[in-house]
Chain A
């Protein structure tokens, strides 16, 4: 960068010339201008300084008060240092777009966060992408309320600009773009929700943020870490994440960084880890688990009561080093990882006059122990490295042996300055190590406390009454991505009515039942089925053999398939019938003797089907669903898969009612979750529905259709065969799209009671 004048040498003429070029009479500018200009002269070329002042002049004239000018004057030199002064025209263009739209208010927040944003972007992402994205957000969220073009300011834009540095700390530009697009797509027409989204306040905003952020997410790798703990350590644990992502990033006052820990509630781990020092995120998790598993295996608790906090810190350091040593003994490959992750505190970095240095001294020692450093410049370190090695030479040593070493170390190295209030913290946190809480026992803990601690989990299980919702994603075909945890599904047992109603319906179909019974007998598992005309078989099929022999004798080529064998024919099938209980079920249709509701016909059909399947003995579950926005999808159990076909089930079927909408994707996913748990060889999900997927909070018809299609694909991959029986005469338009060939449309609904069991039998023959 060209520097024409040193900061100190800002002449009166230069200042006056600058002030003239700025040509701005706002009084607030006077106080800061000299400092800003000095900074600008330091950061920018002469032409760059002129452009800087010109841009500031423009901002002084847009009638938005002093904020924009001040923000620009103060921030731009820093921005230019990060991304280069040639970015100014693009920034100016962005400012002009803000000015021309009703979004002038956003100019100040834009400028105020620009320097922080630029610092984040300096790592390689061009600023232009950020500017484009900002403008796009502006375009898509301004003025579209009630369709009056561009007359309203974007509600979310200022919030977005304030959050931008936080967002970019964790997201790439591409990730940020996805995050923005999601908000635009879902909240373009909801000012409040839009603000909550772009202010990183709403739950889905945070969920999408988490999904898009870089690094290794604990939620995505829980299974792998579980396998790690089992396979390499023969241990198991629940993993509980703590936040190092946005929650931590947006904290106003930085707290001491959280560390992993292990207690009765599980192993606490950071919710996300970036690659660091050449160690991948997953290996950082493994390092933390290895260390914790090592403690579980080799540490024995010590009494804390007799130790000062400093002594405890020293004991923990020696004990942690012992654990790492033993871990490396068992898995030598961990050495590279531990060494890469352990900080390298500099021997003389802590000033004992100003800080308490014990923590730093211990970190230096810990590093030396990990490196097995014998030539260390500090004699105490050398000595204790040797004593540590000796203690571990003959075996695993013990926590107590480490405590003895540590106490000797503290006694030997005690300094006056250790008592200073301010602790030197730099390069002392070994972040793969846990906080050692299981290492300490307290004698003085009262019985009450212990009782309390042990009783705690019980309180949590008390309110099992209403099951908490399960969350399911939903496919958004616009972005070709899932909306995480989009739908809340509540499950419960269906209310009960009068079983006699179902018996009456079954009586009505007595003739049909007799016919079905004949079909069912054929389907019934038979112990052995004879397979004739086999070339290889268990027995000679005499008839055929004799025929072949005759052929042979008479010079004709004989049929070699003269054997037969047997196959035992068990059915290994689990079935779930999913009923759409939405409002359209109340529609009336003409049937043989007058009018009937679709609901009644469904009850008949389902009862007949249940009766039929019961005859066959296949496990069979029935559930219904309806929805009232994505926040409330209800999944009602009508029959459990091993529950016998009897009065309890009939009572529930009798109480079936129509209501609400058809958000089918979540219901399919939930049903799949039950079927997937079955160990049957074949899993069949029958869906009975009378209309297309829809819900009151969704205006785009395609959305739920595409989501349902996606859900069916997911089921396929789980080995679940799904089949849809639709009662909607217009279903052809969408049902094939969702279920492929696996569907039937029953257009004469009055025949449903007959068709449903027939279809089932055909499917499972």
Chain B
């Protein structure tokens, strides 16, 4: 099992700037082995934060990107059929529970509700995972912790977490970092100058004000990092912004023209 856990370890310190006191709060939640939910729009640093915490706490991290087609067996494990016999294969959740990793279920709402419920016994005092098909009741490793992420922006009737799921987690509300911090992050991640970073952030802010007026979500920090990276590689600021900030998020002409204007007005 140690070989297993080695591959999930975060070896280098991920760059992470805390937005508030989330690092200390997370550490406290981990010390008590409480399950954690991180909420927030796409690309605002949720995954980065968890990665950073895993590194800081020295725990292996197993990340699962959830999707609609995912079934409970994809998390727990399944029998594989081989000629003459069958073989059991642990799923990522089971592996994490066995080796004492932090298991990060990214975008949990994407998974169907019948899938989501398998995490329930792991998230209360039982800390167990019944592997029905195998006839095994797995007791989670003492270091195991479950983390889920969830983007409330997409919320629809069809896609929301059940109350009984939500109420098993402590939660962090993430949002895009405030302007100063976001500029610092851009500068650090890409190596561009502070002033340029600040200009990118102000364009990001312009786009975020259009949320709900034709944009489902504003420009993420991730996209701002992309734009910064392009600029760092010598792309003209206007082109970089159009390519990384505007084109990915909209096909709406009015919005595109408005944001293009914001770019031209900002980088004169």
Q: Is the pair A227, B115 in contact by a Cβ cutoff of 8 Å?
A: no
Within 8 Å of chain A (Cβ to Cβ): is B158? yes
Q: Mark B233-245, 1 if CB is under 8 A from A, else 0.
A: 0000000000000
| Nearest chain A residue, comparing its CB with the CB of B158 | A570
| Nearest chain B residue, comparing its CB with the CB of A282 | B257
What is the total number of residues of chain B having a CB less than 8 Å from a CB of chain A? Answer: 33
Within 8 Å of chain A (Cβ to Cβ): is B261? yes
Within 8 Å of chain A (Cβ to Cβ): is B3? no
Given the known interface contacts A231-B210, A232-B206, the answer about A537 and B254 at a Cβ–Cβ threshold of 8 Å is no
Measured between C-beta atoms, what is the minimum distance from A537 to chain B in Å?
Answer: 6
Measured between C-beta atoms, what is the minimum distance from B79 to chain A in Å?
Answer: 8
Q: How far is the CA of A349 from the CA of B252 in the complex (A)?
A: 48
Q: For A334, what are the chain B residues with a Cβ–Cβ distance below 8 Å?
A: 265, 268
Q: How far is the CA of A234 from the CA of B211 in the complex (A)?
A: 12
Q: Is the pair A333, B264 in contact by a Cβ cutoff of 8 Å?
A: yes
Contact of A538 among B83, B114, B209, B214 (CB under 8 A): B114
Within 8 Å of chain A (Cβ to Cβ): is B18? no
Contact of A228 among B79, B112, B115, B258 (CB under 8 A): B258
Chain A residues 227-284 with CB under 8 Å of chain B are 227-228, 230-232, 234, 282-283
Contact of B207 among A231, A528, A568, A572 (CB under 8 A): A231
Within 8 Å of chain B (Cβ to Cβ): is A536? yes
Q: Is the pair A232, B83 in contact by a Cβ cutoff of 8 Å?
A: no
Q: How far is the CA of A548 from the CA of B80 in the complex (A)?
A: 13
Q: Is the pair A231, B262 in contact by a Cβ cutoff of 8 Å?
A: yes
Chain B residues 68-113 with CB under 8 Å of chain A are 69, 71-73, 79, 81, 83-84, 112-113
Q: For A286, what are the chain B residues with a Cβ–Cβ distance below 8 Å?
A: 261
Q: Is the interface of B mostly helix, strand, loop or mixed?
A: helix
Q: How far is the CA of A529 from the CA of B173 in the complex (A)?
A: 35
Q: How far is the CA of A565 from the CA of B258 in the complex (A)?
A: 46
Q: How far is the CA of A528 from the CA of B206 in the complex (A)?
A: 43
Q: Is the pair A230, B81 in contact by a Cβ cutoff of 8 Å?
A: no
Q: Is the pair A234, B268 in contact by a Cβ cutoff of 8 Å?
A: no
Q: For B259, what are the chain A residues with a Cβ–Cβ distance below 8 Å?
A: 231
Q: How far is the CA of A210 from the CA of B6 in the complex (A)?
A: 71
Q: For A227, what are the chain B residues with a Cβ–Cβ distance below 8 Å?
A: 210, 213-214, 254-255, 258
Interface residue range, chain A: 35 or more
Q: Mark A429-467, 1 if CB is under 8 A from B, else 0.
A: 000000000000000000000000000000000000000
Q: How far is the CA of A331 from the CA of B202 in the complex (A)?
A: 10
A-B pair number, CB within 8 angstroms: 78
Q: For B264, what are the chain A residues with a Cβ–Cβ distance below 8 Å?
A: 333
Q: Is the pair B114, A549 in contact by a Cβ cutoff of 8 Å?
A: no
Within 8 Å of chain A (Cβ to Cβ): is B133? yes
| Nearest chain B residue, comparing its CB with the CB of A336 | B268
Measured between C-beta atoms, what is the minimum distance from A217 to chain B in Å?
Answer: 14
Contact of B81 among A231, A232, A548 (CB under 8 A): A548
Q: Is the pair B262, A538 in contact by a Cβ cutoff of 8 Å?
A: no
Within 8 Å of chain A (Cβ to Cβ): is B267? yes
Q: Mark A324-344, 1 if CB is under 8 A from B, else 0.
A: 000000011111100000000
Most buried by A among B71, B214, B265, B267: B265
Q: How far is the CA of A257 from the CA of B55 in the complex (A)?
A: 67
Q: Mark A218-234, 1 if CB is under 8 A from B, else 0.
A: 00000110111011101
Chain A residues 299-338 with CB under 8 Å of chain B are 331-336
Given the known interface contacts A223-B254, A283-B261, A334-B265, the answer about A231 and B206 at a Cβ–Cβ threshold of 8 Å is yes
Q: Is the pair A331, B266 in contact by a Cβ cutoff of 8 Å?
A: yes
Measured between C-beta atoms, what is the minimum distance from B80 to chain A in Å?
Answer: 11
Within 8 Å of chain B (Cβ to Cβ): is A376? no
Q: Mark B135-170, 1 if CB is under 8 A from A, else 0.
A: 000000000000000000000011000000000000
Q: Mark A509-541, 1 if CB is under 8 A from B, else 0.
A: 000000000000000000010000000111110
Within 8 Å of chain B (Cβ to Cβ): is A640? no
| Nearest chain A residue, comparing its CB with the CB of B255 | A227
Within 8 Å of chain B (Cβ to Cβ): is A566? yes
Q: Is the pair A540, B133 in contact by a Cβ cutoff of 8 Å?
A: yes
Given the known interface contacts A232-B262, A332-B268, A334-B265, the answer about A549 and B207 at a Cβ–Cβ threshold of 8 Å is no
Q: How far is the CA of A557 from the CA of B254 in the complex (A)?
A: 57
Q: Is the pair B71, A537 in contact by a Cβ cutoff of 8 Å?
A: yes
Q: For A87, what are the chain B residues with a Cβ–Cβ distance below 8 Å?
A: none
Give 20 A-B pairs besides A227-B255, A331-B262 with Cβ atoms closer than 8 angstroms: A227-B254, A230-B209, A231-B206, A231-B209, A231-B210, A232-B206, A286-B261, A332-B265, A333-B264, A333-B265, A536-B71, A538-B71, A538-B114, A552-B81, A553-B84, A558-B81, A565-B71, A568-B113, A572-B157, A572-B158
Please provide the 8 A-B residue pairs with the shortest distance between their CB atoms, ordered closest to farther: A332-B268, A333-B265, A538-B71, A331-B265, A231-B206, A333-B268, A227-B258, A224-B254
Listed A/B pairs (19) with beta-carbon separation below 8 Å: A224-B254, A227-B213, A227-B214, A231-B207, A231-B262, A232-B261, A286-B261, A331-B265, A333-B261, A335-B268, A537-B71, A538-B71, A540-B133, A548-B81, A552-B81, A553-B84, A565-B71, A566-B112, A570-B158
Interface residues of A (CB under 8 A from B): 223-224, 226-228, 230-232, 234, 282-283, 286, 331-336, 528, 536-540, 548-549, 552-553, 558, 562, 565-566, 568, 570, 572
